[in-house]
């Protein structure tokens, strides 16, 4: 007799792996802003791809989040952007009418879930979020969650309802496996937000990359103290 599977459900959480962040020619390529020798996020691409491939096999749900900006969003500054103050030049302009700007908001081809993925728009209602969450679980569909802020929980008003509905549909509190960019901005907001909601979180360290705004003491070390597990793309979860 086969023993029952008693592990917690798993949710793969892939943060902002978009052209503007991941490609050196992108509008806001993720690299250490204080180290001119840093080759940037391309160094994490293979680990991210490996992690997402693992998620597609071992996770009950795979959630992709992404900046989906319009001119006028709080973090977009076309005149004097300053990363230390949380403002950046236009990037991931998913709400733009310009096709080239829109392209920067797309997920990179190596991890793109394709046309079958569901979308939770940045202005979605809580009722729609619950509906999408139910479909994600019952139809085993990937989902792309748009956000207008660093934090998905602040940048998409329906995110909390979506996460709660995922938990309900899965039938038990899940473990979140997190990867993506940037470690010290959007990944930090995702991990902190999940931990604030008492979630079990695992961060795949080599499948992230930083802007150099914060070091380990303010990211990985803090997450460990808060109960998160830090792992490697070779073994994302036990």
The pLDDT value given to residue 1: 42
The pLDDT value given to residue 6: 65
Tell me which architecture the domain covering 10-231 has in CATH: 3-Layer(aba) Sandwich (3.40)
> pLDDT tens digits, residue range 215-236?
999 999 999 999 999 999 988 8
> pLDDT tens digits, residue range 51-85?
999 999 999 999 999 999 999 999 999 999 998 88
The pLDDT value given to residue 84: 86
* Residue ranges of domains in the chain: 10-231
Give the DSSP letter string of the chain. Answer: -PPP--SPPEEEEEE--BHHHHSTTSTT--S-TT-TT--GGGGGHHHHHHHHHHHHHH-SEEEEEEE---TT-TTB-SSS--GGGT-BSS---TT-S-HHHHHTTSBPTTT---TT-EEE-TT--HHHHHHHHHHHHHTT--EEEEESSSSHHHH-TTHHHHHHHHHHHHTSPPEEEEEEE-TTTHHHHHHHHHHHTT-EEEEEEEEEE--SSS-GGGTHHHHHHTT-EEEBTTBS--
Tell me what the pLDDT averaged over the chain comes to: 95
């Amino acid at each position: 007799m086969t023993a029952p599977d008693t592990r917690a459900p798993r949710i793969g959480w892939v943060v902002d792996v978009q052209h503007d962040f991941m490609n050196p020619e992108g509008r806001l390529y993720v690299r250490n802003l204080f180290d001119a020798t840093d080759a940037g996020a391309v160094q994490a691409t293979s680990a991210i791809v490996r992690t997402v491939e693992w998620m597609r096999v071992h996770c009950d749900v795979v959630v992709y989040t992404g900046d989906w900006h319009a001119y006028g969003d709080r973090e977009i500054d076309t005149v004097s952007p300053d990363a230390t103050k949380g403002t950046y030049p236009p990037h991931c302009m998913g709400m733009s009418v310009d096709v080239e700007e829109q392209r920067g908001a797309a997920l990179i081809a190596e991890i793109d879930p394709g046309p079958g993925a569901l979308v939770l728009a940045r202005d979605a209602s809580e009722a729609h979020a619950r509906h999408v969450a139910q479909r994600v679980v019952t139809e085993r569909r990937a989902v792309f969650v748009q956000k207008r802020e660093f934090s998905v929980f602040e940048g998409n008003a329906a995110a909390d309802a979506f996460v709660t509905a995922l938990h309900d549909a899965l039938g038990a509190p899940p473990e979140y496996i997190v990867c993506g960019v940037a470690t010290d901005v959007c990944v930090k907001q995702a991990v902190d937000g999940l931990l604030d909601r008492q979630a079990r979180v695992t961060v795949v360290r080599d499948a992230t990359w930083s802007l150099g705004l914060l070091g380990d003491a303010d990211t990985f070390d803090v997450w460990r103290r808060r109960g998160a597990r830090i792992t490697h793309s070779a073994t994302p979860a036990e």
